Structure 1
Amino acid sequence: MDCRVLGQLAVRSGTVIGCLTAPKPRKVLALLLVRANLVVPIETLSRELWSDDPPASAHTTLQTYVLQVRRMLAKTLGMASEAVARDILVTTADGYVLRVKPGELDLHEYERLAAEGRAALAEHDDVRGSRLLGEALKQWHDAALVDVRLGPVLSVEVGHLEESRLATCQLRIDAELRLNRHHTVLCELSSLAAQHPLHEDLQAQYMVALYRAGRRTDALNAFHRLRTTLLEDVGLEPSRRIHSIQRAILTADPDLDNFALSMRYSPNTTA
């Protein structure tokens, strides 16, 4: 079984692709996959489907949706529905659990590779850490559950996933900068900086990468764009850290060529 939530929702087995088109059963499948191998309470599924206004028939209707998911899984996997109910999409006392094995869900592969990458970075192995984090990010093919109509529960889950994805990007870029591979991350950083104009950590990485690539003016322009956006949108100046990086760029501080970004840079200059 090959299940995917980091992009379009999908379940496959070999060349057979699961077909589940109705929005609410797809929500049930998506939530069960995002929390695969964990019991998802009936109340949680009900909230995802109907927010705070479930119909009187909510419990029975949910059972119908679960049955539709089981039938899809049975057809996709070439199994009897009874076997699916016993071994894969299982009813518990409090809800349902969708069981997946290692390697069957892209989210679990992403989390495994990202954890291994972070462990490598903790051991100061930037080459291995960057490679593993890059492999983790390759599990993503689009925004999480991009083709699912998200309810209140899935919206929170997807938000957490996207935050994790961005944090993993930052860690990998940090490692690349420590390895003096600023040219390889400039295009990616340009896109991320444009997508997250108020994200100071990303903007700092972008400024440093531009400076190291010999684009000092562009690095200073990136600072001014960030400052203007912060002032206009939230009425705040950039942090002291961002200002210190700007001053380091202005003075061509040699530390900018060496420091491991991760927001640990603290030049000798003061505000």
Structure 2
Amino acid sequence: MKIGVLGPISIEVNGRSIVPTAGKQRQLLTLLALRCGRVVPIATLMEELWGDSIPRSGLTTLQTYVLYLRRLIAAALPEDPPPAAASKELLTTRFGSYQLAAPCEYDLADFEGLASRGDSALERGDATNASELLGRAMGLWRGPALMDVPLGRALAMELIGMEEAYMRVQEQRIRADLWLGKHSLLIPELRKLVAQHPMHENISACLMIAYQRSGASWRALEVFRNLRTALNGELGVEPSGRLQSLHQELLSNTPELSLTDFVLS
């Protein structure tokens, strides 16, 4: 079994897709796939599919969906052993729950592994290896995660965690590239990120450093002003002490802004 969730959902058995076309069956399979190797309580699955409006026939309908998924799995399996029995080993019934077997390939697990190795490299000060590993992790994303799956409560929470993990990896890779001196090359990517996340202090700090080290200190000061305006307007707070210190370095015409607090923190 191969599972891909970092983009359009992709789940294959023996090279054959088992992703159903119907929305709720697709939703059910996706939640089981995201928690593959772990039991998922029936109550969680029903809440994902129907929220607070679980129909009286909800349990029967869920069992029908599971039966349909097993038929898709069986159709992708060889005849020996009997596919119906083998499909129950891939999608098992536990007491009050269901469980999808752990896959042989899983893009989310690969992403998390590369991200962890990249973080470790950055902590060691190995920016070259960190940039390569974190870039590979980002490259596993084929588009917005779960982009073609209806989202209930459980999947929505899973998606938030995945998107936050991606953004953290991207921020770490940017830090590594700043440490490697790729200031000018990073400016377009950082400008887009700052526009998307106008109150994200670390991203703004990285753009300030990139501008200043590219000879555009006035643009760095503009980034700080925009950040301060956004924080004051939305939250009524000032930028953190670290950002204030970076701003003072700019005002004092420091030759090169310090990387340490933002790049290896």
**TM-score, normalising length: structure 2:** 0.90
Matches within 5 A, 1:37-186: 37-77=37-77, 80-86=83-89, 88-102=90-104, 104-186=105-187
The answer to whether the 8 Å contact 2:175/2:264 transfers is: no
Q: What CA distance in whole angstroms lies between the structure 2 residues aligned with 1:13 and 1:83?
A: 12
RMSD: 2.0
Q: What CA distance in whole angstroms lies between the structure 2 residues aligned with 1:71 and 1:13?
A: 12
Q: What CA distance in whole angstroms lies between the structure 2 residues aligned with 1:127 and 1:95?
A: 45
The answer to whether the 8 Å contact 1:201/1:263 transfers is: no
**SS in structure 2 at match of 1:3:** strand
Range with bigger deviation, 2-11 or 246-255 = 246-255
**Aligned pair in 2 of structure 1 residues 239, 168: CA closer, same or farther (>3 Å)?**
same
**Aligned pair in 2 of structure 1 residues 167, 19: CA closer, same or farther (>3 Å)?**
closer
Q: What CA distance in whole angstroms lies between the structure 1 residues aligned with 2:238 and 2:264?
A: 17
1:191 paired with 2:192, answer: yes
**SS in structure 1 at match of 2:257:** helix
- One-letter code aligned to 1:100: A
Q: What CA distance in whole angstroms lies between the structure 2 residues aligned with 1:17 and 1:201?
A: 41
The answer to whether the 8 Å contact 1:177/1:261 transfers is: no
Residue 7 of structure 1 is matched in structure 2 by: 7
Q: What CA distance in whole angstroms lies between the structure 1 residues aligned with 2:98 and 2:187?
A: 45
Q: What CA distance in whole angstroms lies between the structure 2 residues aligned with 1:200 and 1:262?
A: 13
The answer to whether the 8 Å contact 2:18/2:69 transfers is: no
The answer to whether the 8 Å contact 1:186/1:209 transfers is: yes
Q: What CA distance in whole angstroms lies between the structure 2 residues aligned with 1:96 and 1:261?
A: 44
**SS in structure 2 at match of 1:186:** helix
Cα offset, 1:242, TM superposition: 1.5
Cα offset, 1:221, TM superposition: 1.2
**Aligned pair in 2 of structure 1 residues 71, 210: CA closer, same or farther (>3 Å)?**
farther
Q: What CA distance in whole angstroms lies between the structure 2 residues aligned with 1:62 and 1:167?
A: 36
- One-letter code aligned to 1:130: S
Q: What CA distance in whole angstroms lies between the structure 2 residues aligned with 1:92 and 1:184?
A: 52
Q: What CA distance in whole angstroms lies between the structure 1 residues aligned with 2:242 and 2:124?
A: 26
**Aligned pair in 2 of structure 1 residues 185, 68: CA closer, same or farther (>3 Å)?**
farther
Cα offset, 1:142, TM superposition: 1.8
**SS in structure 2 at match of 1:91:** strand
Q: What is the CA deviation profile of residues 56-96 of structure 1, one whole-angstrom value per residue up to 9, with x for unaligned ones? A: 2222111111122222233345562321211x211112311
- One-letter code aligned to 2:26: R
Q: What CA distance in whole angstroms lies between the structure 2 residues aligned with 1:184 and 1:14?
A: 42
- One-letter code aligned to 1:167: R
**SS in structure 2 at match of 1:96:** strand
Residue 35 of structure 2 is matched in structure 1 by: 35
- One-letter code aligned to 1:106: D
Q: What CA distance in whole angstroms lies between the structure 2 residues aligned with 1:16 and 1:213?
A: 50
The answer to whether the 8 Å contact 2:178/2:263 transfers is: no
Q: What CA distance in whole angstroms lies between the structure 2 residues aligned with 1:47 and 1:213?
A: 52
The answer to whether the 8 Å contact 1:178/1:259 transfers is: no
Give the paired residue count: 262
Q: What is the CA deviation profile of residues 240-264 of structure 1, one whole-angstrom value per residue up to 9, with x for unaligned ones? A: 2212212212223245155362475
Q: What CA distance in whole angstroms lies between the structure 2 residues aligned with 1:101 and 1:20?
A: 18
The answer to whether the 8 Å contact 1:39/1:95 transfers is: yes
Q: What CA distance in whole angstroms lies between the structure 2 residues aligned with 1:62 and 1:262?
A: 48
- One-letter code aligned to 2:34: V
- The unaligned stretches of length 5 or more in structure 2 are none
Identity %: 39
**Aligned pair in 2 of structure 1 residues 39, 13: CA closer, same or farther (>3 Å)?**
closer
Q: What CA distance in whole angstroms lies between the structure 1 residues aligned with 2:120 and 2:264?
A: 19
